[in-house]
Amino acid sequence: MERPDETISLEAKNFSFWYGSNRALTNIDLTVPARQVTALIGPSGCGKSTFLRSINRMNDLIPNIRYEGDIILDGESVFRADQDVVLLRRKVGMVFQKSNPFPKSIFDNVAYGPRVNRLVDGKRALEDLVEHSLKRAALWEEVKDRLGKSALGLSGGQQQRLCIARALAVNPEVLLMDEPASALDPIATQKIEELVYELKSEYTIVIVTHNMQQAARVSDRTAFFYLGELIEVGNTEDIFTNPKNEQTEAYITGRFG
């Protein structure tokens, strides 16, 4: 599918966020380049997940939230009044920390999104889409003989790749990943990381991680959040070898967090 070739996919402008009276994000300015991996790092509670969930407006599910500033996707505010949240979430896929396959078959897990959103016509096209999505998530070879079996029988790593396939099946532009490998063993983690690396040729990826090595391995750019503020952002190599900010350096060298 052809997409407009833009170098900036996503941009936060002076974005602040509150849970009730609790300020979680303060004046975030961040640009996310298209078809690159941007890692959000920082200690627990620093606001990186809140920021991630603001992009596809998953925070809308929480009562008593408030925000100021804006997040721009493809030149349009995700918060604009006539925003169709359904379309927004199709454009911005999400993978969660805990793999959350639906209590359905492997096939239906991937097919459910396209089916509900009427993305394809006909059984054959749907099967092709499911196969394509599973291949892109590097899961096809492992599950092609048991597509009708329950997704809950898969291992944790397979479940997580199934969730990635599920997100890819609705053909998003941006993929948000909230610590996608934190509950997985090292081998499953490596597979997810390889996958992220491959997927960035087609998708803009924003990944939250607590794992510094992971951020260094998979991302092109890294943003360090602390206490709800964006402390430093830059090329991953620069952030990890030559951080400009003392707090960034303290965090990446493991002195706190």
Residues in contact with other proteins by CB under 8 A are 56, 58, 61, 85-90, 93-94, 96-104, 112-113, 116-117, 152, 156, 159-160, 163, 166-167, 170, 183
What's the CA angle centered on 45, arms 43 and 50, to 5 degrees? Answer: 115
Question: Which two tokens mark 56?
Answer: 């596809």
Q: Which amino acid, one-letter code, is at 129? A: L
Nearer to other proteins, 178 or 232 (CB): 178
Name the minimum Å distance from CB 87 to other proteins: 7
Q: Smallest gap, in angstroms, from Cβ of residue 183 to other proteins?
A: 6
Nearer to other proteins, 67 or 102 (CB): 102
Nearest distance from C-beta of residue 189 to other proteins, angstroms: 13
In b/e form, how buried is each residue of 60-82, taking b as 16+ CB within 10 angstroms? eeeeebebebebbbeeeebbeee
Minimum Å gap between C-beta 72 and other proteins is 20
Cα torsion for 174, 58, 120, 158, to the nearest 10°? Answer: 70
Shortest Å distance, C-beta 98 to other proteins: 5
Looking at the Cβ atoms of 40 and 52, the one nearer to other proteins is 52
Q: Which is nearer to other proteins, 62 or 125 (CB)?
A: 62
Question: 8-19 and 65-73: which strand pairing?
Answer: antiparallel
Kindly report the number of other CB atoms within 10 A of residue 120's CB atom.
Answer: 17
Give the residue with the Cβ less far from other proteins, 58 or 216.
58
The string of DSSP letters for 90-139 reads HHEEEE-SS----SSBHHHHHHHHHHHTT-S-SHHHHHHHHHHHHHHTT-
